[in-house]
Amino acid sequence: MDTERRQISLFQHNPDTQKVTQEEVLDLKDAFTKKDVKFTGVVNLRDALGIVNSIGYNIGEEEFSALLVAYVGHSTSKSGDIDFPTILQLLLKYKRKTYENENELVDAFVAAGGNIDKTGGVSVTKLETVVQQFGLKLALQEIWDLADHDGNVSFANFAKVFENFSVV
């Protein structure tokens, strides 16, 4: 089975790939092909990151390297190069992690008083308590600045409070 067929098969049968659109796979493949100018079937780590980010993601080098280590157990192959299926799997792992972080954030929002559909709000006093309990480095005035006139923090602003505290 050639590489392209294997990738289409991966798209059709792997449940994790359902979080990546077929358009993203094709765009990723196109970007990969443009970087693989020697037709070796591999690109270096920097190019791999550029390929993923060229289709609309904003993954930093450190996060990309951490994903690679988590996926293959080390930062690159012996030659320092990455093939297309590995890049696709890294994108899937990234999207799965992002999805899981979003679900955890919604769960936290609901536990603090918001609604499961991300409506409603969390009272500033409740959010202050959470920030203090977890020892987060955030000035309480910053929390008040995110609140609406009723003293509630929307899901979007709740997410802003915790966006820098996510676990890789």
pLDDT tens-digit profile of 9-19?
334 334 443 46
Structure confidence by residue, pLDDT tens digits, 32-82: 999 999 999 999 888 999 999 998 888 888 888 888 877 766 545 556 788
CA 151 to chain centre: 30
Distances (CA, A) of 60 to 20, 24, 49, 129: 19, 19, 8, 32
Cα of 103 vs its chain's centroid, Å: 12
Tell which residue, 52, 97, 50, has the closest CA to residue 70. Answer: 97
Tell how far CA 56 is from the center of its chain: 12
The Cα 90–Cα 86 span in angstroms is 6
pLDDT at 168: 34
The sign of the dihedral angle between the CA atoms of 66, 69, 72, 78 is positive
Stretch among 14-28, 100-114, 115-129 having the lowest mean pLDDT: 14-28
What pLDDT is attached to residue 34? 95
pLDDT(152) > 70: yes
Distance separating alpha carbons of residues 41 and 29, to the nearest angstrom: 11
